[in-house]
Amino acid sequence: MKQNTKTLQEDVFENLPVPSALRVMILPAVTSQLIVLIYNMADTFYVGKTNNPYMVASTSLILPVFNITLCLAGLAGVGGGALISRLLGKGLDKEARRVSVFSLYLGIVIAAVFSGGMGLFMDPLLGLLGAGENTYQYARQYALCVIVIGGVPTVLSNVLANLIRSIGRSREAGIGIILGGVLNIALDPLFMFVLLPDGQEVLGAGIATCLSNCVACAFFLLVVLKMGKGSTITFHPGVGLAQKDSIFAIFAVGVPSAITSFLFDLDYVIIDKLMVSYHDLALAAIGIVLKVERFPLNVGIGICQGMMPLVAYSYASGNRERMEDTIRLSRKLGLVIAAVSVLLYELFAVQFSHLFISDVQTVEMASQFLRIRVLATPLMFLSFFTVYLFQAFGEGRIALFLGVTRWLGFNIPMLFLLNAIFGMYGIVWSQATADILTVCLSFFVYHRYKPKF
């Protein structure tokens, strides 16, 4: 099994033409991201079938907090995965194994701490998120299932997916994520409309999500076991502790990844809080839009996830031509998909919104919001793409600078500014306005600080 793993790494990272290597790495990553999006939207879709906007609003309130668990997974998974690819590019296989062990146990510990904290401080946190009299109980049920109980398997499965992808096994990483997503889609209606009584639909959605993430985690554990003792990805502490430089490198990339992901979700929380000041229908509408707009964004993230190990390996091995070809083709693919998405959303905004709720006022408002928000899609892809590149290079400080500046310097201040000037629609326009500034900064930083060979 060890030899097979080594051969696969050499094929993907060294021997396959760049378009073929990207296809091998990107297709499973994009597919898994789409399934993640679909199963996240499945909860809103099925909850929307109750035609209860308060249930829809409650799941929207918890989504950013649930996504924080994925930020924690990024700390260990993105930081560890990027380093493992670079170590393999340098031929340091033993250190790569030690890094995998450290990353896995790091993910487990931080997930347990976060889930426990959410359980202990549930009430004040829900109040901070904006849960009101009509949404509080539903939000509490959902958070208990997907964060308190399901937090550790969610984080561990995502860490494993990143680490497995980092050694060229994007297919296995994608299958695990897809398995969890498909199972969640199947279990949602079973728990919501069959097993639990009326009025407990949000609880049913939470149980389905928790179970699906547990199954995905179990699948990844089986993949690691099947790869054998000689695999780069291992839980065995006997391989030893990673070197201090490696631990620093994990946090140097992982912490910026987690912080920027957290700020992304904080942006969503602030949007929800600002929308609450208008009315619950506006909150339900923006909740639908924030899910629908994730389709092209998740595709872009999948492209970045598939591209990053290839760029990291080529960079570490000194293969500049292959690295630049990988970057150029990945960027072109992402922009084409973003442009097509803008066109489709502009044409079919009402139909997309109607998928989630039949309330006429909510659909009308959501479609208007969507047509505005989607204009930022190409800009958002370019922003994320640049951050992923610097993570691949191991330049965590630059990635952190770009991420923090984007959210704390541009996006979040723009939310408050445009809300104060233009009201509810100012909130919706803030994304496109801020991302114009972000892309300009990203281009400048990349061309100034991209690695020299």
pLDDT, tens only, 30-62: 887 887 777 766 766 787 777 777 787 777 778
pLDDT value for 257: 80
pLDDT of residue 352: 86
| Residues above pLDDT 90, as percent of the chain | 35
Q: Is the dihedral of CA 369, 370, 375, 378 positive or negative?
A: positive
Reported as a single tens digit per residue, the pLDDT across 1-19 is 444 555 555 578 888 899 9
Residue 5 has a pLDDT of 52
The better pLDDT of the pair 452, 382 is held by 382
What pLDDT score does 409 carry? 92
Which one, of 449, 334, 433, lies nearest residue 401 by Cα? Answer: 449
Domain boundaries of the chain, sorted by first residue: 2-449
User: Is the Cα torsion angle 131, 380, 378, 433 positive or negative in sign?
Assistant: positive
Tell me: pLDDT of 166 over 80: yes
Three-state secondary structure call for residue 101: helix
pLDDT of residue 329: 95
- Note the pLDDT of residue 11: 73
> Average model confidence (pLDDT) for the chain?
86
pLDDT in tens, 218-277: 999 999 988 877 788 888 887 888 888 999 988 888 888 888 878 877 887 788 888 878
- Measured CA to CA, the distance from residue 234 to residue 334 in angstroms comes to 33
Which residue pairs from 430-437 have beta carbons closer than 8 angstroms and sit at least 24 positions apart in sequence?
431/373, 431/376, 431/380, 432/372, 432/373, 432/375, 432/376, 432/379, 434/406, 434/410, 435/376, 435/379, 435/380, 435/383, 435/406, 435/410, 435/411, 436/379, 437/410
Distance CA 169, CA 227 (A): 11
Q: How many CB atoms lie under 10 A from the CB of residue 340?
A: 13
User: Is pLDDT of 411 > 60?
Assistant: yes
Q: Could you give the 3-state DSSP secondary structure of residue 135? A: coil
Choose the weakest-confidence range: 20-24, 67-71, 368-372: 67-71
Averaged pLDDT, 97-103 = 92
Whether residue 327 is predicted with pLDDT greater than 90 in this model: the reply is yes
CB of 91 within 8 A of CB of 13? no
Q: What is the pLDDT of residue 300?
A: 92
What mean pLDDT is predicted for residues 355-374?
A: 86
User: To which residue do tokens 């089986």 refer?
Assistant: 222
Alpha helices (runs of H) in 121-243, residue ranges in sequence order: 122-129, 136-143, 151-166, 170-189, 201-227
